[in-house]
């Protein structure tokens, strides 16, 4: 068969998959290009002049921008490994067969059944000041729980507490996604490799270090990339639980709806995209370096 005939045969063989992937790819890429072009137009238009960097100059002088950027970076740097650790812990729990594993796995997936807005609203109600459910509990207003504090806690009174609660809620809501990805990676590891390691006298830590971790690295990489992108652009939980301490995503909303400045909002969005692309490049380099180190060892 000629090379051209072979190519057409492969296309016919994978025709169904191609018919699904191609329209979706065109849809996603097409809308991304349209949105990016519109954002560039607004961001580079300043007081009727185009092209103009006035919006970026104004953004650099805005007193809320740098604090929002720092909060976003911290949110990502803390939240990404936290979501990885939570997902890995849950995946390790339900990895090996045991009685009731299906029920436990279903319970772990339950947070995905609750929309992010509903989850944020629940956490908002629980941490309300001064009569939220957590304060009611810690103040000893329930007979079955001892009094722990004497004054209610204002969970939204500081950036640390409010963003910490937003990150906790985000991790709880999204940890099933990380769990499912890592669980798929764990179940793809052949049991014969662990049996061979045991015959050579390897312990549990050694098996994790030299078998599980290297073979699970693709799944770990997927979790780190997907979760970090999600945290960079996270809006709902900081908006509900830390409105007075904006991150970049909520600052975009504030610039558009409160300051009535779409050009500044688009400038912030482009800065956010630039940080996401840069962070992804650095993360990919670190993951490739780690992969080479694990293979050598």
**Other beta carbons within 10 Å of 163:** 23
Backbone angles phi, psi at 265, to 5 degrees: -60, -40
4 confidence band (pLDDT: 50, 70, 90): low
Predicted local confidence at residue 291, as pLDDT: 80
Would you mind telling me the total number of residues written for the chain in this entry?
297
Predicted local confidence at residue 190, as pLDDT: 75
For residues 189 and 166, what is the distance between their CA atoms, to the nearest angstrom? 35
For residues 244 and 161, what is the distance between their CA atoms, to the nearest angstrom? 12
pLDDT for residue 194 is more than 70: yes
Q: What is the largest CA-CA distance in the chain?
A: 82
**Average pLDDT, stretch 161-175?**
91
Q: What percent of the chain has pLDDT over 70?
A: 92
For residues 146 and 58, the answer to whether their CB atoms sit within 8 Å is no
For residues 25 and 232, what is the distance between their CA atoms, to the nearest angstrom? 23
For residues 241 and 42, what is the distance between their CA atoms, to the nearest angstrom? 30
DSSP 8-class letter at 211: I
Pair of tokens at residue 90: 């849950």
b (16+ CB within 10 A) / e for 177-203: bbbbbbbebbeebeeeebeebeeeebe
CA atoms within 13 A on the CB side of 27: 6
Of 31, 35, 78, 27, the C-alpha closest to 252 is: 35
pLDDT for residue 193 is more than 80: no
> Can you give the pTM of this predicted structure?
0.83
Q: Where are the domains positioned within the chain?
A: 64-296
CATH number, domain 64-296, options 3.40.50.300, 3.40.30.10, 1.10.10.10, 1.10.3720.10: 1.10.3720.10
pLDDT digits (tens, 9 = 90+) for 270-287: 999 999 999 999 999 998
Q: What angle do CA 107, 75, 288 make, to 5 degrees?
A: 85
End-to-end CA distance of the chain: 44
Helix, strand, coil percentages, rounded to 5, for the chain: 75, 0, 25
For residues 266 and 42, the answer to whether their CB atoms sit within 8 Å is yes
For residues 44 and 48, what is the distance between their CA atoms, to the nearest angstrom? 10
212 confidence band (pLDDT: 50, 70, 90): confident
For residues 133 and 11, what is the distance between their CA atoms, to the nearest angstrom? 58
Query: Which region among 22-26, 227-231, 260-264 has the lowest average model confidence (pLDDT)?
Result: 22-26
């Amino acid at each position: 068969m000629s090379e051209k005939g072979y190519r057409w045969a492969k296309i016919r063989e994978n025709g169904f998959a191609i018919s699904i992937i191609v329209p979706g790819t065109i849809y996603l890429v097409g809308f991304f290009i349209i949105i990016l072009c519109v954002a560039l137009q607004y961001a580079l238009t300043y007081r009727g002049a185009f092209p103009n960097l006035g919006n970026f100059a104004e953004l650099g002088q805005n007193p809320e921008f740098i604090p929002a950027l720092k909060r976003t970076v911290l949110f990502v740097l803390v939240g990404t490994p936290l979501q990885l650790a939570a997902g890995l812990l849950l995946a390790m729990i339900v990895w090996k067969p045991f009685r009731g594993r299906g029920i436990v796995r279903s319970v772990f997936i339950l947070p995905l059944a609750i929309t992010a807005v509903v989850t944020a609203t629940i956490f908002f109600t629980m941490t309300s000041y001064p009569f939220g459910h957590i304060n009611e509990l810690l103040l000893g207003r329930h007979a079955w729980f001892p009094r722990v504090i004497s004054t209610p806690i204002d969970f939204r009174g500081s950036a640390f507490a409010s963003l910490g609660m937003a990150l906790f809620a985000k991790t709880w809501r999204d940890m099933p996604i990380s769990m499912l990805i890592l669980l798929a990676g764990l179940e793809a590891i052949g049991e014969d490799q662990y049996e061979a390691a045991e015959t050579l006298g390897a312990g549990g830590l050694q098996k994790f270090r030299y078998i599980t971790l290297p073979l699970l690295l693709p799944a770990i990489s997927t979790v780190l990339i997907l979760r970090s992108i999600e945290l960079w652009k996270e809006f709902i939980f900081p908006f509900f639980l830390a409105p007075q301490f904006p991150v970049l995503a909520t600052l975009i909303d504030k610039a558009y709806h409160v300051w009535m400045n779409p050009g500044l909002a688009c400038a912030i969005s482009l800065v956010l995209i630039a940080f996401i692309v840069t962070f992804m490049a650095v993360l990919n380099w670190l993951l490739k370096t780690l992969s080479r180190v694990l293979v050598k060892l």
